[in-house]
Chains A and B, each alone.
Chain A
Amino acid sequence: MKGKRHCLAAAVFFMLFLLPVNVLSASGTGKDRVYDYYDVLNEEEEAALNQELEEIYDTYGFEAVILISEDVQKEERMYAAEFMQVQGVGYGENKDGMCLFHQPGKRNVTIVFRGEAQYAFDTGIQDILLDGCTKYLKEDNPYGAYQVVLKALKGGLGRWSLGKSVRPMDVSGSFAGFLTAAFFISLTVSAVPVFFMTMHQKGKMKTIRQMPNADDYIEKESISLDVERDIYVRTMTTRTPLPKDDDHYSSGGSSGSFTSAGESFSGSSRSY
């Protein structure tokens, strides 16, 4: 039993720290940027994602990686940050980079930014990236989920590279899709006041109504309250358990800045 444990620890140590990766390569060409330890992707999908990540690196000087593993029994954002540090993910003086960390078994996805990118891609932008991603993960389409994140990332990087701030619309998919959603939501919301306006006008057309009471005919000062009695009967108490706090290792929705080994990161994690 002890022997097995030692083997397992060694395997994890090997996987995390000694896997042959091209760390901090200046040109970045040919470097694997997809770490699929859960066998979620086939060879073609992995190659396609690698290609896209390579293009992002070449175009924007920004290093992004995708890490897929089993439950690491650790806070996800912290783990992703440590992975980036150990693997040297991040380019340039500021080490601008991103890690998309997916734990399929735990149904959790995390995104962490390093360097100046953590300020450009703040938690609001991160939420939008995760929104797009979790939609596909719920449909058991991780490849589609990763592609959505990379597409949105490219949209944000395009703007950031011009020295402008990254806006939600830069990362949230097509404008046509937004417009359609906005139209149908507006159609539904505006129906409410229009309904009340129409009912009010319709009500004005009907003026033949029964009088509901005889209030106009109550003789003044004739109301006499002979018995006014309030008696306490009993008290009933019911209790409902409060929802439990999130587990230390799970993060149903944690996000924000944090530090790892003295370096600051920004990340968001979500269960789906």
Chain B
Amino acid sequence: MSVVNYQCPNCTAGLGFDGKTQKMVCEFCDSSFTVEELERIKEEELRESMEEKSAHWEGFSPEQWMEGEMEGMKAWNCPSCGAQLIAEETRGAMKCPYCDNPMVMPEQFEGMYRPDFVIPFKKSKKDALDALRKHYLNKPLLPKVFKDENHLEEVTGMYVPFWMYDLKASGRFTYEGINTRIYQDSKYRYTESSIFHVTRKGSMVFQKIPVDGSKKIDDTMMESIEPFSYEELKPFQMSYLSGYAADKYDMEPDELTDRVHTRMRSSMQKVFTDTVNGYGEVRQKGADMRISGKGDVKYGLFPVWFLNTKWNGRQYAFIMNGQTGRLAGDLPVGKGILVQYWLKRHIPLTLLLTAGAVILRLLGVM
């Protein structure tokens, strides 16, 4: 957690703000300064300090943060060792890399940012590494050198912010149902098509459709490790975060509804189409789905293990559901291996079929 201190330039005692004079006043030496004066003094001291250091060191010219460079970042002080750490401004929990002290920044989860739920981690870091090794198995197209040489750069257990949508949808779907009969007489073949206009209308309720609320985390990756089991959904408590990283959301629920609606539409379409029976062919003609009533949205933190590896100059990212252990991540396909795999099967099969044809010919079948 970050703390700001104001010190007297004359005696280094603490300064307090005096409401009457509107100045910062030293309790010990009665010096008084305006805030602007204090800032100027501070800058001057810093400049002198830099000059002194430059006098001793060749090439010592530390840069100052330019405007905008710190955008999206925030500085935190470790309460255990005092180290200053820079992290994304959405970070709500992390581990100090110096003393391994778990840090939780409660103000990140205050007010509107307080999660409603959390799914605690069930899978450990070891489980994540084991899952990754298992992910490499039975993949004949994976270059062997990848398994042997890929360098695990980072394994991070993080609580990812999710929005969970409870929505009711109503839909109206129209179809054309066709039954076909074929018969013939001595001269013609007749095709008789009976056409029906089919309508289905109804509603269905969806509960807790999850969408991750973080801009920097890929939504497709998060969907790859679904579903999370909501039976283990717990009311939020800060203590669950200790030992893991955590992010707060930086995308509002309204920004993510498109994806939710797309998934709902797909489900609704399938459910209603399955009710159209008794036809040889069904063609959808129209589909209209609307969200009925006000939906409900909750904010939760879900456990995810992030594993980043590097091989051949490229980064490979894998993620694992910290509750169920489901792992996802794209693996490289060796082009030479692909060709070898193909040839190792195509050539023997061709020879086998040719030999079969020759045997049949010798037997007089062909």
Judge if B56 is at the interface, Cβ distance under 8 Å. Answer: no
Q: How far is the CB of A128 from chain B (nearest CB, A)?
A: 10
* A182-B357, A186-B357, A238-B191 known; A210+B223 contact, CB < 8 A: yes
Interfacial chain A residues near B80, Cβ < 8 Å: none
* A202-B333, A211-B263, A227-B201 known; A216+B364 contact, CB < 8 A: no
Interface residues in A209-245 by Cβ distance below 8 A to B read 209-219, 222-242
A223 to B328, Cβ gap below 8 A?
Answer: no
B206 to A217, Cβ gap below 8 A?
Answer: yes
Contact partner, B354, options A186, A191, A204, A206, Cβ 8 Å: A186
A214 to B263, Cβ gap below 8 A?
Answer: yes
Contact partner, A189, options B271, B327, B353, Cβ 8 Å: B353
B361 to A168, Cβ gap below 8 A?
Answer: yes
Q: How far is the CB of A142 from chain B (nearest CB, A)?
A: 28
Judge if B205 is at the interface, Cβ distance under 8 Å. Answer: yes
Q: Is the interface of A mostly helix, strand, loop or mixed?
A: mixed
Judge if A207 is at the interface, Cβ distance under 8 Å. Answer: yes
A233 to B195, Cβ gap below 8 A?
Answer: yes
Interfacial chain B residues near A190, Cβ < 8 Å: 346, 349-350, 352-353
Interface residues in A154-194 by Cβ distance below 8 A to B read 165, 167-169, 178-179, 182-183, 185-187, 189-191, 193-194
Q: How far is the CB of A119 from chain B (nearest CB, A)?
A: 15
B330 to A205, Cβ gap below 8 A?
Answer: yes
Interfacial chain A residues near B138, Cβ < 8 Å: 204
Interfacial chain B residues near A229, Cβ < 8 Å: 198-200
Q: How far is the CB of B300 from chain A (nearest CB, A)?
A: 14
Total A-B residue contacts, Cβ distance less than 8 Å: 200
Judge if A94 is at the interface, Cβ distance under 8 Å. Answer: no
B196 to A216, Cβ gap below 8 A?
Answer: no
Judge if A27 is at the interface, Cβ distance under 8 Å. Answer: no
Q: Tell me, in angstroms, the Cα distance from A198 to B153 when the chains sit together.
A: 31
Judge if B12 is at the interface, Cβ distance under 8 Å. Answer: no
B354 to A233, Cβ gap below 8 A?
Answer: no
* A210-B223, A237-B191, A241-B188 known; A219+B207 contact, CB < 8 A: yes
Q: How far is the CB of A68 from chain B (nearest CB, A)?
A: 31
* A187-B350, A218-B267, A236-B192 known; A205+B198 contact, CB < 8 A: no
Interfacial chain A residues near B366, Cβ < 8 Å: 168-169
Interfacial chain B residues near A242, Cβ < 8 Å: 184, 186-189
* Chain B residue nearest to A181 in the complex (CB): B357
Judge if A42 is at the interface, Cβ distance under 8 Å. Answer: no
A239 to B188, Cβ gap below 8 A?
Answer: yes
Q: Tell me, in angstroms, the Cα distance from A224 to B202 when the chains sit together.
A: 5
Judge if B126 is at the interface, Cβ distance under 8 Å. Answer: no
Interfacial chain A residues near B345, Cβ < 8 Å: 194, 197-198
New contact pairs (5) apart from A206-B330, A225-B202, A229-B200, CB-CB < 8 Å = A186-B354, A201-B140, A218-B267, A227-B201, A241-B189
A-B contacts, 6 of them at CB < 8 A, read A167-B364, A185-B357, A194-B345, A201-B341, A205-B142, A217-B208
